[in-house]
Amino acid sequence: MQLQRQFSGQLITIDTNTAIASGGEGRIYPIAQDPSLVAKIYHRPTDEDGDKLTVMFSMPPDAPIAEPGHASIAWPLDLLHTIGGREKIVGFVMPRVTKVLPIHTFYTPKTRREQKPLFNYLYLHRTARNLAAAVNALHMRGYVIGDVNESNILVTDTALVTLVDTDSFQVRDPYTGYVYRCPVGKPEFTPPELQGQTFRELDRAPEHDLFGLAVLIFQLLMEGTHPFSGVYLGSDEPPPLEARIRSGHFPSGTKPIPYRPMPAAPPLEMLHPRLRQMFLRCFEDGHGNPAARPDAKTWVNAIREAEDALIICSKNSQHKYGNHLSRCPWCDRAKLLKGRDPFPSPQAVRGGLHLQPMKKQRKKPQPQPPVRDSVARRQQSVTGLPRQLGQYQPPLLPLPMSSRTRVAPAIPLTKVERIVQDTAWGSVWGGLCLAAVAGVFWALTEGGGAILGAIFVGSIWGSFFGMIWGIFTLSPNQVLRKWGGVLVGAVWGAFFLAALGGGVFGAINHNPAIGQAILSGVGVGTVWGLVWAVFQPPLALPIGRVWGRRGAFLGAVWGAFLGTLAGVCLGAGLVLWQQYSGEARSAEQFAGLLLGVAIVAAGVGSLGGMVSGAFLGFCGFAPKLPISFQPSGVRGGALGAIWGSFLGAIVGAILGAGLSAIVPAVGAGLSVELAPVAGAIVGSGLGAIWGVVSGTVWGALGKW
């Protein structure tokens, strides 16, 4: 089977006889051209599947863990469509995950002791922390997992976590409001307010995920014990687990309920005090008020605090426990389990002692009260990964975790933090840009030889660094890209030295015009960074059936960009034609007229292009955007210019119209009715031109 990647255009061949895994929705196949990727092909692909995948591709979550070769979330990297005839999306490309096992292998004492005996309590904390970081990254981007369960979370020997089956997540299209729901869920991880409901008919929220996340963290830190399993104290048949969840019967909690904790379960007091408090908030306070459940970022911080409080047992280095305890709970637990140490020492593992049966003690048989518990966990993996049961060789020690930066999650920025960061960078870029423009202008008009010399030196140094970058980062057959690096380095070097020279020239000569230009650039750049961060333009918009509201939006984006270019070209062409057809003007008059006409023409073109493009897009004439996954370089610059003109034109029109209406001097010479219109046109032109320039730079740098 031959398919094509939607955004990169690469043709790939799928051998249908080499499926890695198979499920109800589709099969997963290796990609021969790139062993680090796999393809998921649907059994019965629909147009809705394609639209959902396109939205997911356009807005990927931030990676919470920057580990080479590791994907915290197996997100779609590209879409796959058929070749020839009507192109139909039939699947997607995602990272290949290797050397992993389902999370229940690690939190279940028996399977952990058999398969990963050196995965200690510190590693379980780190697993819980990385899991919470991945969930936080999804929630920060507006996604909801929905079907939180132990089979869709894979873990490595070093506690790195990967969330799989991402195409089943609940996805909301931010431009149409349509929700692609998650139709399934496991009762063991479903919050009380959703128990017994039909998932296909409801929209889920992050607080629903937070219940399942807390259940998994509880199981990781409490030896696989489900928080709602316990010994039933009533005389009738014990209720099923979902009924206990619905009723909020948390056996380790503070409220009186007809259950007591399981005899073999660790006591809740073994956990760090802050973690105990958070479990009570989730399972007791959150029972009637889902908003009271701790969010994923709060879990990350709490688990980090608990992890830092772990100390090492003097008898067994694999025993790690909280410093709030007076003695090692794992030594006591090993005695309770008659020699079956939950975290055996390396010496015991090398000798195979961790696999020996439980020690039997001879004593008189005594009648035991019946323990009634109907909890039956499903421990079968649906990932297709082999489970090595039977005889085991002494495993190697897992990779050391002493380096925190190796596996510690980097918490994604919040919305406010992202806005502040992008606004700050926008102000820096705006100030540098206007400083460079002012420096070059004054060098040409006032004869600033020092600035021209600085620009020359900057281009030389930039070329040198660009060449070094090309030598050390590119392969020998990428000659053109190496020379491209030299060219880019020369441009950047000249830009920075021009900005520096302009600023120094203005300060030495006490030139207020340069200072005003730099401050204006800072102000415009601040607005630009704020708009970019708040809007967060997507990488793609749904393709195939692009019409209606989606088509109108995409058409408006294209219309603003093309209208801006057309307006600038036509306006500048008109002034040039007049200049060289007999109406010659002085250089100063010519430059002022050229700039003024270009701005007005860009404003008319961008606003007119938005209106006409929206109309054509509504009818179905909206082309797709020139994009690739997380673009930078030429493609990123093109995409940034398109989005920049659209955002800049809108913001400029609003600011121009507002200033013209509020400040009479801005619209001097015009009537009260026409001043806002003229202000909107001029502001739109300035914003669109600035947006094209700034968007090109931001997109080329991969600022998405």
- pLDDT value at 548 more than 70: no
How high is the pLDDT of residue 374? 37
Residue 469 buriedness (CB in 10 A; 0-12 / 13-18 / 19+): middle
Distance CA 537, CA 540 (A): 9
> What are 687's two structure tokens?
């914003």
Domain 1-98 class, CATH top level: alpha beta
pLDDT at residue 525 greater than cutoff 60: yes
Give span(s): CATH 3.30.200.20, the chain: 1-98
Mean pLDDT of 149-159: 94
* Cα distance between residue 32 and residue 576, in whole Å: 56
Q: For 596-607, how does the pLDDT look when each residue is reduced to its tens digit (9 = 90+)? A: 888 888 888 888
DSSP for 394-458, please give it: PPPPPPP---HHHH---PPPPHHHHHHHHHHHHHHHHHHHHHHHHHHHHHHHHT-HHHHHHHHHH
pTM, rounded to two decimals? 0.63
CA dist 278 and 206 (Å) reads: 17
Residue 486 has pLDDT above 80, yes or no: no
Highest mean pLDDT among 338-342, 376-380, 617-621: 338-342
Least confident of 99-108, 390-399, 485-494: 390-399
Least confident of 308-317, 409-418, 509-518: 409-418
Residue 481 tokens read as 């890209």
CA distance 357 to 344: 14
Span between the terminal Cα atoms of the chain, in Å:
34
User: CB within 8 A of 613, min separation 6: which ones?
Assistant: 555, 556, 557, 558, 559, 560, 562, 563, 622
Question: Which regions of 197-309 does DSSP assign to beta strands (E)?
Answer: 231-232, 259-260
Of 5, 456, 127, the closest CA to residue 135 belongs to 127
Q: What is the mean pLDDT of residues 664-676?
A: 55
Q: What is the mean pLDDT of the chain?
A: 79
Least confident segment among 14-28, 300-314, 543-557:
543-557
Alpha-carbon gap, residue 244 to 187, rounded angstroms:
11
Tell me the catalytic residues. 147
H or E stretch covering 323: none
C-alpha 93/C-alpha 28 separation (Å) is 10
Helix (H) or strand (E) holding 41: strand 37-42
Q: What is the pLDDT of residue 631?
A: 52
Nearest to 448 by CA among 385, 387, 500: 500
pLDDT band for position 574 (50/70/90)?
Answer: confident
What's the token pair of residue 392?
């085991």
